[in-house]
């Protein structure tokens, strides 16, 4: 099955909305995704939303890096969004993934896993002295919001 997004504002469109102007921006151009690609794209956006929320709530966060598995695994809707959070205020305790269910009311429709580490532990992960769970690797770094950077 294909998923359709408005090319102008990136809103996902329902089957009924596809033949009409986008309800958000009125745009008529569309981008078509196969289902797996659509899940991966949406998870990437949700990961950014989750990171923004965490940066706003945790002042000790220095960096947030997306952790990923294979593309095949990441395209499965029930596969959680995985974030590695480097926090100066955390106590070193190794790589301990903490799982959370989806929170659709907060804009997080997928489950998530957070791995919070100290800056020293992050350095050990980078040098591979400290290992991530099997099959996981570090992906893109999610940017700290400008309003948070300005407060520092």
Q: Name the pTM for this structure.
A: 0.75
Grade residue 93 by pLDDT with cuts at 50, 70 and 90: very high
Q: What is the DSSP string of 38-60?
A: HHHHHHHHHHHHHHHHHHHH-TT
Q: pLDDT tens-digit profile of 9-67?
A: 878 888 888 889 999 999 999 887 666 777 888 899 999 999 999 999 998 999 999 99
Question: Which residue, among 10, 101, 115, has the nearest Cα to 54 in the 3D structure?
Answer: 115
Question: Which residue, among 112, 115, 111, has the nearest Cα to 125 in the 3D structure?
Answer: 115
């Amino acid at each position: 099955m294909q998923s359709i997004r408005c090319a102008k504002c990136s809103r996902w469109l329902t089957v009924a909305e596809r033949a009409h102007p986008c309800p958000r921006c009125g745009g008529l151009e569309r981008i078509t995704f196969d289902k797996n690609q659509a899940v991966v794209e949406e998870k990437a956006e949700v990961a950014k939303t989750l990171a923004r929320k965490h940066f706003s709530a945790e002042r000790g966060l220095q960096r947030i890096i997306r952790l990923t598995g294979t593309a095949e695994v990441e395209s499965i809707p029930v596969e959680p969004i995985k974030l590695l959070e480097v926090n100066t205020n955390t106590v070193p305790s190794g790589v301990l993934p903490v799982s959370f269910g989806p929170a659709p009311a907060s804009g997080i429709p997928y489950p998530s896993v957070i791995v919070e580490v100290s800056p020293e532990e992050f350095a050990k992960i980078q040098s591979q002295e400290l290992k991530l769970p099997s099959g996981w690797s570090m992906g893109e770094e999610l940017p700290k919001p400008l309003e948070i950077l300005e407060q520092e």
